[in-house]
Amino acid sequence: MGKKEKLQKRLMTKPKDFMFTELEQLMNQLGYKIAKSGKTGGSKIRFENDDGDYIRLHKPHQSNTLKAYQVSDVISALVDRGLL
């Protein structure tokens, strides 16, 4: 099992300690990159692929750990796109 599959499997278990860095790694492996949001982008993050499809979420503050609702939102978005 490769890194991509391990990260997907870990994400699907909805862990309470899923890190933003892990999500960024997984999204990169799925063809999504963080889109530039300008000077005032703040904590809003947009993962975008070459087709213009995107997934938005707030980057966690203080801690690098995603909240449960963020993990669920990412899972739903990836399932809807047929990537999980």
**Each residue's pLDDT tens digit, 13-69:** 999 999 999 999 999 999 999 987 666 667 788 999 999 899 998 888 788 899 999
Is residue 19 helix, strand or coil? Answer: strand
* CA pair distance 25, 32, nearest whole angstrom: 9
User: Going from the N-terminus, what domains does the chain have, and what CATH number goes with each?
Assistant: 18-80 (3.30.920)
pTM for this structure? 0.86
| Inter-CA distances, 15 with 6, 23, 52, 72, 75, Å | 13, 12, 29, 10, 12
